[in-house]
Amino acid sequence: MLPKYKRILLKLSGEALLGDNPVNSDPFDPKIIEQYAQDIKQITDLGVQVAIVIGGGNIYRGMNEADSGIERAHGDYMGMLATVINGMAMQAMLEKIGVYTRLQSAIKMEQIAEPYIRRKAMRHLEKGRVVIFGAGTGNPYFTTDTAGSLRAVEIKADVILKGTRVDGVYTADPEKDKTATRYEKISFQDCITNNLKVMDMTAFTLCMENKLPIIVFDMNMPGNLLKVVEGQNVGTLVS
C-alpha cells in the first residue's frame, strides 16, 4: 500500500521511553526504543520522510519553583538538554538498524549535534535521512509540543503524528473515566470547546492556524505507525 503522507513529524513523549521501568530508575527501556526504531524503519523503507521531536520528561520534568528552588527558565533549559539525550538514544538505535539520521539541536553543541538550520533539515529529509530535533525551540517557556508544531510547520510536514500511550482523543480521561469514548475525527474548534488536552494551547493554535492536521495514536502498539501512515483508521484525526 502506498503511504498517505510523504513527510511527517513524529512527536514522542519522553515518559513513554521509560516503558515498564519505574520512575527514578534507568530513564530508558531499551525494548521501547528498539520497537520505536523498528516502526520508524518500516515507514522510511516506504520512502516516507520522517522528522522526530521527543520530550524530556523521563529525565527531567520542570518542577514547581517553590518546591525545587529552580527558577522556571533555568529548569526549562535543563529540560531542553534532556531532549537532546533522548534524541541521541533514538539516533543510536536507528543507526544500529541501518537508518541514516541527523540530530539537530536548537542550542549549539557542535560535538554531538548539528545546529538547527531549516533548509539543511529539509535537505536531509529529501535525502532519506531521519532528522531528530533536540532542545525544543531553544527558548524557555515553550513545551516540546510547541517545538514539534513549530518544526512541522517549518519543514512543511503533511501531518503531526503524536505517539502516546493512549489510542486517541477521548471524551474524558480514559484512565479515570471508564465511560469515555474515543473520537475517530474531531475538529480543532471542538477540541477547544470541549477543553480536550490534545497539546498545549500554543502548539495547538499553531497547527490550527496553519491547517496542519494532528493524529493522536498509541505508539506502543507495534505496527501502528505504519497503519497511520498508510491512512488506516488508527487513533484520532484532529483537523
* Integer Cα distance of 200 and 196 in angstroms: 10
> Which residues sit opposite 105 in a β-bridge?
115, 134
Q: What is the mean pLDDT of residues 160-184?
A: 91
Give the pLDDT confidence score for residue 113 in this predicted structure. 98
Give the pLDDT confidence score for residue 63 in this predicted structure. 66
Contact 83, 60 (CB under 8 A): no
Look at residues 170, 157, 181, 167 and name the one whose alpha carbon lies nearest to residue 227: 167
Would you tell me how many other CB atoms lie within 10 Å of the CB of residue 25? 10
pTM (2 decimals)? 0.95
The answer, yes or no, to whether residue 161 has pLDDT greater than 90, is yes
Give the pLDDT confidence score for residue 96 in this predicted structure. 98
Would you tell me how many other CB atoms lie within 10 Å of the CB of residue 128? 14
pLDDT, greater one: 64 or 110 = 110
What totals of helices (H) and strands (E) does the chain contain, helices first? 8, 9
Residue at grid coordinates 510523504? 6
Residue type at position 99: V
Its CATH class, for the domain covering 7-238, is alpha beta
Give the pLDDT confidence score for residue 38 in this predicted structure. 98
The answer, yes or no, to whether residue 23 has pLDDT greater than 80, is no
Q: What is the mean pLDDT of residues 112-124?
A: 98
Cell of 76: 526549562
> 30-87, pLDDT tens digit by residue?
999 999 999 999 999 999 999 999 999 999 876 677 777 899 999 999 999 999 999 9
In the three-class reduction of DSSP (H, G, I as helix; E, B as strand; rest coil), residue 34 is classed as: helix
Q: Where are the chain's structural domains?
A: 7-238
Q: What is the mean pLDDT of residues 21-30?
A: 81
- CA-based radius of gyration for the chain: 17
Q: What is the mean pLDDT of residues 109-122?
A: 98
Q: What is the largest CA-CA distance in the chain?
A: 53
Question: What dihedral angle (degrees, nearest 10) is formed by the CA atoms of 139, 145, 147, 150?
Answer: -130
Give the mean pLDDT of the chain. Answer: 94
Residue at grid coordinates 522526530? 52
Give the pLDDT confidence score for residue 24 in this predicted structure. 66
Residue at grid coordinates 531549516? 118
Residues of the chain above pLDDT 90, percent: 82
Give the pLDDT confidence score for residue 64 in this predicted structure. 72
